[in-house]
Amino acid sequence: MSTAPNSTTFDPAQSGNADSQKRTWLHAVKPARIILYLLLGLFSIYYLLPLYVMVTNSLKPLSEITAGGMMALPQEWTIAPWLSAWSSAQIGVDATGLRPYFINSIVMVVPAVALSTIIGALNGYVLTKWTFRGATVLFGLLLFGCFIPFQMVLIPMARMLGLMGLAGTVPGLIFVHLVYGIGFSTLYFRNYYAAFPTELVRAAQIDGAGFFRIFYRILLPSSGPIAVVCIIWQFTNIWNDFLFGASFSDFDSQPMTVALNNLVQSSHGVKEYNVHFAGAIMAALPTLFVYIVAGRYFVRGLMAGSVKG
């Protein structure tokens, strides 16, 4: 930690004179401050570098990349790699581009997110407002299911999907993501509803409102923020999943991540790096878009999912 510059807030030089403290750190522009911003800037470059590489190289002809110009801006700007990645690049056996797989991912994500969120909300409601003996144990068992290595369920799940007639299909993937998404969505709603005043629920019950009525009229209207957190978390997780997609999909039901990996790892022909980068950005755009628009909720979801088990 010795590289951390002295913060002006805690600067020992000021500590002798507590009175002038506020004034000095507001006005001082010190070398320490400059180093601080310099460091923050350097780290920003580190985090942005791969994004820069992906974007610039997806917009230049292949020859510029192979000639050693990966870090340079394009000399000749072109969107041809994007068009190729979207609709004509070779993926597996077919030259379909990533479009059909992008659509697969959307068809997979929307119902899986919607269903797991709804079920999670109801579960959270029961676990906090209609609690019963053993509810905490049950919740603990549910939560542990979120953290298991999914290698542990791959073999039986493959069989089960076969028995259900869902092997190698998008509905099969929806089912798998729903099953393993419920744990986290329940976690979010349970922790959120735990802080919701139980008196309101009890009062409504005395007034004769039933189980679902209380949920719709009293809890649901104030569930907006946690629903957003949950939807973003599930969306990001399911969109970015690779293991289930690789294990349980066929050529025509692959999600975007699996197709992207096939595009990049394909061994025949010239490696079209610019097309690979364009494809990678396509796979990243939906989650990146959500992050930029609703980053606050994304971070909240991350924290709730990890800090508060």
Partner 1 sequence: MSFSETANPRGSVADRLRDALPKLVLSPTVAIVAVFVYGFIAFTFYLSFTDSRILPSFGWVGWTNFENLFRIRAWDTAVSNLAVFGLLYISICCALGLLLAILLDQKIRAEGFIRTIYLYPMALSFIVTGVAWKWFLDPGIGLEAVVQGWGWESFRFNWIKDREFAIYTIVIAAVWQTSGFVMAMFLAGLRGIDSEMLKAAQIDGASTFSLYRRIVIPQLRPAFMSAFVVLAHMAIKSYDLVIALTGGGPGTATELPATFMYSYTFSRNQMGIGAASAVIMLMTIAAIIVPYLWSELREKK
Q: Are 64 and 33 in contact (CB under 8 A)?
A: no
The minimum distance between CB 252 and partner 1, in angstroms, equals 19
In angstroms, the CA 189 to CA 92 distance is: 41
Contact status: 252 vs partner 1 (CB under 8 A): no
Quick one: how far is CA 196 from the chain centroid?
A: 27
The minimum distance between CB 170 and partner 1, in angstroms, equals 18
Scan residues 100-139 and list those touching partner 1 (CB under 8 A): 119, 122-123, 125-127, 130-132, 136, 138-139
Nearest alpha carbon to residue 234 among 114, 149, 153: 114
Scan residues 191-220 and list those touching partner 1 (CB under 8 A): 202, 205, 210-211
- In the block, tokens 């299911």 appear at 145
Contact status: 90 vs partner 1 (CB under 8 A): no
In angstroms, the CA 120 to CA 227 distance is: 10
Stretch near partner 1 under the rule CB under 8 A, chosen from 83-91, 164-172, 217-225, 270-278: 270-278
Backbone CA torsion sign across 186, 168, 101, 245: positive
The minimum distance between CB 250 and partner 1, in angstroms, equals 14
Of the candidate residues 29, 31, 93, 149, the single one contacting partner 1 (CB under 8 A): 149
In angstroms, the CA 84 to CA 18 distance is: 64
Binding map of partner 1 across residues 29-58, x = CB under 8 A, - = no contact: -------xx-xx--xx-xxxxxx-xx--x-
Q: What is the dihedral of CA 196, 197, 203, 204, to 10 degrees?
A: -10
CB of 68 or CB of 224, closer to partner 1: 68
Of the candidate residues 195, 265, 269, 270, the single one contacting partner 1 (CB under 8 A): 265
CB of 151 or CB of 221, closer to partner 1: 151
